[in-house]
A and B are shown apart, each in its own frame.
Chain A
Amino acid sequence: MTGSNPYGTAANHHVLSVLVQNRPGVLARVASLFARRGYNIFSLAVAPTEQEDYSRITIVVDLESATLEQMVKQLFKLVDVVRISELDPRNSVERELMVATVRSTPEQRGQIVELTNIFEGKILGVGPEALSVSLDGSPEKLNDFSELLRQYGIIESQRTGRVALPKLDRTARVRAVNQTKGKAS
């Protein structure tokens, strides 16, 4: 955790992009492996990829209890797991989406709208004493935005798990973990 920010990406956070066969129960397999081995998941995003046989799971892991190497190796033992890459935040594009309902007096409304515009977010709804806003972007941008909203009072907020892909010149930069090395069991 960075400072007081509950959403921050801390030094012990790593992003794993896990390509899996799109089969029933695959998420449960991954989740129960993490639970069984005492590994921490910070955030999780799952969706089918461009190929319908495969899904990509982006996991932000919290390396408090185990080494990344051990985590990756254990994950790779799952038969449905096809490939695992660690994405370095400096060399990847990362996005999250947040929606928030913020307390707002009529007088404050203009300030919040302005703030949202500066961050290129959207106003989703306006009520007499609150506003709903959404913002997508890098985790840091979302952190900054929610920090600024906090002074008005965040009634509720929800962030998605992180999705990430390597930056375009991938050959030199993707650190592929165990792509060719053995998986044995």
Chain B
Amino acid sequence: MKSNQQLTGAEALIKGLEQENVEVMFGLPGGCILPAYDPLIRSSIRHILVRHEQGAGHMAEGYAHVTGRPGVAMVTSGPAATNLVTPLCDAYMDSIPMVAITGQVPTSAIGTDAFQECDTVGITRSITKHNELVMSADDLPLAIRQAFHIATTGRPGPVLIDVPKDVLQNMMTWHWPTDDEVIDSLPGYKPTTKGHPRMIKEAAKLILESKQPILYVGGGVLKARGADALRELAELMNIPVVTTLMARGAFPDNHPLCLGMPGMHGTATAVTAMQKADLLIALGSRFDDRVTGKVSAFAPDAKIIHVDIDPAEQGKVRKPDVPIVGDCRLVIEEMIVALRDLMAGGMKPADISAWRSRVNGWKENFPLAYEPSEPGAALKPQFCLEKLRDASPEGTILVSGVGQHQMWSSQFWHFNEPYTWVNSGGLGTMGFSVPAAIGAKVGRPDKTVWAIDGDGCFQMTAQELITASVEKIPIKVGILNNSNLGMVRQWQEMFYDNRYSQVHFSESVPDYVKWSEAMGCVGIRVESPEEVESAIDKANSINDRPVVVEFRVAPTEQVFPMVAAGRSNDEIILQPSQENRRELLR
């Protein structure tokens, strides 16, 4: 697509984003990125003006989570770029496709400690999949195409393009690179998507031979749009499924084969089934420490099939017996073919009925549970979540922050569809939920989007509700307000002998209702069980502005089950009322 069209670098940048079919971007202008904001006036791209650059990053992530398309954030240099560091790292840890554009001081000023200069590329090097300082306007289109290509293929991730101000101002001859030009410009980047046929066949044999298999499903299955294929595989072989924190919704919670979430706060069934399994079929999961507990004691008798598009994940934590590099959806589909072929050829699957009934016994005996609150006592957060779950429309998107409320959300919600759960899994970014929910709602305006937040998280990024009000993005926020940093408090209670240190906030400030109203939202406070349902119904009925519901909940509540950090999953601490049944977990 050669042309003689002369554009400024800024015009080329915006035109490039349009060529990449960007519909919406999140950002905040400033000195060095100013030139790029001028052509934006005439652009088809919707720009959402945030109140803090961190918000722009998390919005881009939320958008990418629910749409599968890359989220785009654009901010200026220096402090704006450093404010983007947390979302970039978050997106890197959770493999979220994202393209960030940062302004930079003019090329002649680079390295002089100019006003609002920082080494953005250096700072973000280890938290992006790739980054690039573009030194010439002519290089911009290729840099944009490369960024989108890298962000969305292979293992997705954030890519940053740093653009000096003069590069935005200089004239260039428009040229949109072809696919071949992009591929040729990246000789070191060739993601493998198709699994090795011999390995897939070997995996299929192991599956057929296994008497105690578990499908250990991670976020990679969602990234690969592989939920349907996964379900077909699970149902074909009747293999129980655990879905990690990043994979909630990849397999329906209401499916009889679903065991829920594994890991530190996973269900006793999911945790124990992995420990006792003779085969773990890890699909797009990475043996995170929050899942494995003490690695040397994790699933000691299990052989491992590890499917991942990133070869570096294989053998990083646990050596697989059958490593398969590839896209989860494609590999699962090939695996199904291989299984059918082997069975058609006369190979009989091992009998797993005893395993199934053992697992189902655990499911019956160890459901997620909590003690309902005494009459007149403070609300239980789990109760609020159950009510919210039951009162919200099917397919509601739930977005959480990080802490106790995140774990309860993951536990007590029923995720029956993929892409209905958005959270910060790897980095554990407090303050993620409000901006991520805004991004999710922008990506899926047809869906009800609830942010579930703790009071600690909410106070970190609540200002983005102003963005939501002004931009008419009607998200709903449920704050589980226990006036504490709940998860930290829980650890101090359990591991520091009730010595509470710097975890208590305040019961009286802020006034969340007034604060919400000041930001243009409807604010509702809920203090007793009787008020819960009507507050939720009211919130669900408001669609012209954001709503914030503050649930004042018991500060003493703890998340169970729990595997203490660094301990073996065999030492799972059960919900107190279930401890007397522990011997059934065999």
Contacts and interface: CB of A to CB of B under 8 A. Distances in A.
Contacts of A76: 311-312
B126 A184 contact: no
B189 interface: yes
Interface in A144-161: none
Given A28-B122, A33-B126, A185-B154, A77 B315 contact: no
Given A69-B315, A70-B315, A184 B187 contact: no
Contacts of B186: 79
15 contacts: A28-B125, A69-B315, A73-B311, A76-B312, A79-B130, A79-B186, A79-B189, A80-B188, A182-B192, A182-B326, A184-B192, A184-B311, A184-B312, A185-B157, A185-B312
B136 to A, nearest CB: 12
Contacts of B193: 182
Given A70-B312, A79-B189, A182-B309, 16 more contacts: A21-B187, A25-B121, A28-B122, A29-B125, A73-B311, A78-B188, A79-B130, A82-B187, A181-B192, A181-B325, A182-B325, A182-B326, A183-B189, A183-B191, A183-B192, A185-B157
Contacts of B215: none
B85 interface: no
Interface in B472-507: none
A32 B310 contact: no
Contact of A77 (B122, B308, B310, B326): B310
B370 to A, nearest CB: 39
Nearest to A78: B188
Interface residues of A, number: 28
* B contacts with A: majority SS: loop
Contacts, number: 78
Interface in B289-328: 308-312, 314-316, 325-326
Interface of A: 20-21, 24-25, 28-29, 32-33, 36, 67, 69-70, 73-74, 76-83, 178, 181-185
Contacts of B187: 21, 82
| Interface core residue of A25, A77, A81, A181 (most chain B CB under 10 Å) | A77
A155 B191 CA distance: 51
A184 B325 contact: yes
B194 to A, nearest CB: 9
Given A25-B121, A67-B315, A79-B150, A185 B155 contact: yes
B129 interface: yes
B266 to A, nearest CB: 27
Contact of A20 (B156, B188, B314): B188
A82 B188 contact: yes
Interface of B: 95, 121-122, 125-126, 129-130, 133, 150, 154-157, 186-193, 308-312, 314-316, 325-326
B188 A183 contact: yes
Contacts of B191: 182-185
Contacts of B157: 185
Nearest to B191: A184
Nearest to A77: B312
Contact of B312 (A36, A74, A81, A82): A74
Nearest to B189: A79
A10 B121 CA distance: 36
B122 A184 contact: no
A11 B187 CA distance: 33
A105 B308 CA distance: 65
Contact of A183 (B95, B130, B190, B316): B190
| Interface core residue of B121, B122, B187, B309 (most chain A CB under 10 Å) | B187
Nearest to B146: A79
Nearest to A72: B312
A185 B310 contact: yes
Given A21-B188, A77-B310, A185-B155, A36 B315 contact: no
A32 B188 contact: no
A28 B314 CA distance: 26
Contacts of B316: 70
A178 B311 contact: yes
Contacts of B154: 183-185
A176 B150 CA distance: 25
B320 to A, nearest CB: 12
Nearest to B195: A182
Contacts of B312: 70, 73-74, 76-77, 184-185
A36 B128 CA distance: 13
Contacts of B156: 185
A67 B312 CA distance: 11
Nearest to A73: B312
A57 B404 CA distance: 47
Given A82-B188, A183-B190, A184-B325, A36 B126 contact: yes
A79 B310 contact: no
Nearest to A185: B155
| Interface core residue of A28, A32, A70 (most chain B CB under 10 Å) | A70
Contacts of A182: 190-193, 309, 311, 325-326
Contacts of B155: 184-185
Contacts of B133: 24-25
A19 B133 CA distance: 21
A159 B307 CA distance: 44
Contacts of B188: 20-21, 78-83, 183
A76 B154 CA distance: 13
Nearest to B135: A24
Contacts of A184: 154-155, 191-192, 308-312, 325
A184 B193 CA distance: 8
Given A78-B188, A184-B155, A185-B191, A32 B125 contact: yes
A71 to B, nearest CB: 10
A32 to B, nearest CB: 5
